[in-house]
Each structure stands twice: as C-alpha cells, then as structure tokens.
Amino acid sequence: MKKALLLLAAIAGTLTLSAQNKKGGIDAKLLGEISQGYEGTAADKALRNALNTTAINTLALNADNIPMDTRFSDVVKTKGRTNQLSSGRCWLFTGLNVMRAKMIDKFDMGPVVLSQNYVFFYDQLEKANLFLQGIIDTKNLPDDDRTVDWLFAHPIGDGGQFTGVSNLIMKYGVVPSEVFPESMIANNTAQMRAQITNKLREDGLRLRQAPKGTDLQAMKTAQLKEIYRILALCLGVPPTEFTWTRTDSKGNVVSTKQYTPKSFYEEYIGTDLENNYIMVMNDPCHEYYKIYEIDYDRHVYDGENWVYLNLPVDEIKKMAIASIKDNTALYFSCDVNKFLIRDKGIADLNNFDYESLMGVSFGMDKKERIYTHASGSTHAMTLIAVDLKDGKPVKWMVENSWGANSGYQGNIIMTDEWFDEYMFRLVVDKKYVPASLMKYFDQKPIMLPAWDPMFLPEE
C-alpha cells in the first residue's frame, strides 16, 4: 500500500511538473521579462503609494476637463424623481417615468408616481410562468441542451427591457404609487429573488423528471400558486379596484373616482404600448438596417420577444431629437458606469485619464468592446433633454431612477461623444420614425439566441 501511494505521488508530481512546463505557461525566464513592465522608478513608486490608499477613479480624474454646462435647448416637462434603490428594476422605472411625464403634461398635474411595485408583482409572476412553460416546452431535449441549460441558469430576475413594460401594462394596467406603495422587499429584491430562483429550479427539475402521461399544466399551476404566495407575502396583494383623487399642478382637487388598474391606464395614458412604439439599437457587431429578434427575451410567455431595428447612431439621434422637441420623453439604455462621475451626474469620455495614470493604452472601439464583453447595455433611464448648437447635439440628459439627490438633480448629463460610444437602445413613438425606416419592419426578423451577451436584461 505504501509503495502504491508513493507511486501515485510520483505520477502526480510528474503530471504537475508537465503541466507547469507546457508551452504557453509562465516560466522563470518569462516572468523575469514581463516583470520589467514595472520598473520601480521614482514616478512608479509615487503612483504605487497613491494607489495604496486612493481609488483609481479619484486619481484618474482629469483636472483639465472643462466643467459641464447644464443649460439645454430642449427639455421635456417632467416632475419628481424616483429611486429603484437596491433592485434591478430600472427598465420598469424608466417605462413608467416616460408615461407619467405624458400624464403630467396632458392633465396639468403636480408630481405623480405610478406604482412600480404593482407592475413588478406581475412581472415576477409572468417570468415564473415563462420559465416553467419553457421547461415544459423543452422537456424532450437532453439535459445538456444549450436552451435547457440557459433556462436553469436564468429562471428569473428583476432586470428587463421595454417589452416587459408594454406587455405587462397592456395586460394588467397601472395604479398610482399611493394605491400600491413600494415595500422594503421591492426596494431590496435580492433575498426574495434568491428564494424564488431556488424554488423555480426545483419546480423545473420536477417537471423534467415527471413520467410520461403526467398533466404538466396542472403541475405548473400548483407550482405557480406557491410563487404567488411568496410574492403576496413579500410585495402585497395587487389591488383590483381603488379610489383615487386627482389634483392639478396647484394642488386643487379635480376629481375623485373609482378605477380598475386597466381603466386608470385607459383614462390617463391610453397609448397602445405594444403597437405604437419601436425599439432601435446601435450595435456595430450586427449589420445595420436589419430587424433582429432575441429568443426568450420577453417577460410574458404569450407576449412578444424583443424585436429591434439596428441603426447607425446618427439615425437614432434624429428620432430622439424629434421626440424631445415635441415634449415626449423616451426609454433609453446605455452602459451607464463608463466614464461617469456619479456624484455629479456627468458622463464624458474626458472625465478620467486612465492611460496616463496606468501608463498603458486602452484602444478598443465600440464594436470590439461589445465583442469582448467589455461593454453592453446595463441600465435604462428616461431621455428628457438635448442641447442643440447649430442644429447638432452637443449633450443629452436623462432622468435617472437613483433618487432626487443622485447625480445632477437626479439626472445624468452626457456629452454627444459619450452618447456615440455607450448608448445602445432607444424606444421611439412611431410618429417620430421616418417612413424610410419603418419599411424595414416588413422584414422577417433575424433570430438571435437568448445567451447573446449583448442582450442581458438591464439592471
């Protein structure tokens, strides 16, 4: 036995040595060569000392960058700022903020907030059904099938995009926030999401393990009852009827009426969200002037996958400007944390000089950043302003959902150059879309897989 153990140890040592000596590893000679990247000069030591106690962004802050002018030529009327807190519901806050801006302007209201918690309840219930029905639909596929694996890896989340807004609201309506207010868990979704995720994975496994002839739809219904219970305990039971008092911008009572969530939507917003809007993207990894569809990228099983027209950024800007000039806010998403001074709410490619600090170059363009997972759409906000000089945009402003005290008065201001590099998605009312672009929606969409990294939900 002892000899056998010694022999196994010798074999293991040989295999380890062999692995270490394989071509492509870091040997002593290579280590000596690459360690010359840090020369230990007086300047290097000064930087090392500074980085020992100071954040990279603080040291990289570009002192030569001119402070941002906060004046804008065209601004959409809106009142109040919302806060998603520790949740991934930016897509929902953005969609509701676009609608409330129109509502406030149309009816001359003071600050109004639509209940994110109400729509979020049904978002989570519908996503649970989407996952479970997806498991049923793929039951005959092998366990290692890419779609099956993707479903179990992503059973539910609180991120999303505009088709969630459109499908959920057209199905369930909306209510004012005072009718169904935020809960502590709605503002801090991680623990609830963890429990629902675990339960759905267990339920999905039981569906796949169920013997032939089992009534899978009955199983799913029983499973969804448990998900509904968790949601009701954590978020509350959504109202089916309510009474609401409307006031004008001066605080005067205009009316007090009883509503259902759908009748409230019809009276105060009334737009056909599923048919009156298009989504456009600037994704240089895919061919422009083509329609694309993302498989399983929806919130409602019987709803719509995300379908978009891929366009050069200048085409997108024209529609955004037309909408803002007509006092209509837009659903907008971007890679928000790139070159952002968060406390000031300024996004500018010149904010930070990482190259001078680190002594290395960062040279990828937008296409290369997307391809290598270095950039993608991470956050949705409400586009509300553009500053035009001689008819061309100089900067833009979005209403954010990080609270009124975040950024610049609850907003983020971005230069036009930053917009070019880190803007990805925009939802546009069809009346601002030229006929020359609408014709492309006659194409059959090119289907892209659910796991394409460009199409992760916005947080």
Establish whether 334 is a catalytic residue: no
pLDDT for res 77: 86
Domains and CATH numbers, the chain: 74-455 (3.90.70.10)
**Res 110 pLDDT > 90:** no
Average pLDDT along the chain: 91
Q: Which of 334, 400, 405, 411 is catalytic?
A: 400
Q: Which of 97, 299, 351, 379 is catalytic?
A: 379
**Res 424 pLDDT > 60:** yes
pLDDT for res 13: 52
pLDDT for res 21: 53
The more confidently predicted of residues 177 and 452 is 177
The more confidently predicted of residues 356 and 5 is 356
- Tell me the per-residue pLDDT of 217-263, one tens digit each, with 9 for 90 and over: 999 999 999 999 999 999 999 999 999 999 998 999 999 999 999 99
- Tell me the per-residue pLDDT of 368-415, one tens digit each, with 9 for 90 and over: 999 898 999 999 999 999 999 999 999 999 999 898 889 999 999 999
What element of type H or E holds 397?
A: strand 392-399
Percentage of the chain exceeding pLDDT 70: 94
**Residue 17: pLDDT band with limits 50, 70, 90:** very low
**Residue 4: pLDDT band with limits 50, 70, 90:** very low
pLDDT for res 456: 62
Q: What is the mean pLDDT of residues 284-304?
A: 93
| pTM: predicted TM-score of the whole model, two decimal places | 0.86
Which backbone phi and psi does 281 adopt, to 5 degrees?
A: -135, 155
Nearest CA-CA partner of 418 in 362, 359, 336: 336
Question: Which residues face 8 on adjacent strands?
Answer: none
Residue type, 417: E
pLDDT for res 451: 82
The 10 Å Cβ neighbour count of residue 381 is 27
Q: Where are the alpha helices (DSSP H) in 181-247?
A: 184-187, 190-209, 216-235
**Res 19 pLDDT > 70:** no
- Tell me the per-residue pLDDT of 330-354, one tens digit each, with 9 for 90 and over: 999 999 999 999 999 999 999 999 9
Q: Is the separation of the CB atoms in 296 and 447 below 8 Å? A: no
pLDDT for res 296: 87
pLDDT for res 453: 65
Supply 445's token pair.
């969409």
Nearest CA-CA partner of 160 in 374, 427, 446, 379: 379
What element of type H or E holds 427?
A: strand 423-429
- Tell me the per-residue pLDDT of 125-171, one tens digit each, with 9 for 90 and over: 999 999 999 999 999 999 999 999 999 999 999 988 899 999 999 99
pLDDT for res 7: 46
Establish whether 90 is a catalytic residue: yes
**Residue 455: pLDDT band with limits 50, 70, 90:** low
d(CA 396, CA 68): 11
Q: Is the separation of the CB atoms in 433 and 319 below 8 Å? A: yes
Q: Which of 90, 117, 334, 411 is catalytic?
A: 90
- Tell me the per-residue pLDDT of 46-89, one tens digit each, with 9 for 90 and over: 999 999 999 999 999 999 998 888 999 999 988 778 888 878 88
pLDDT for res 68: 87
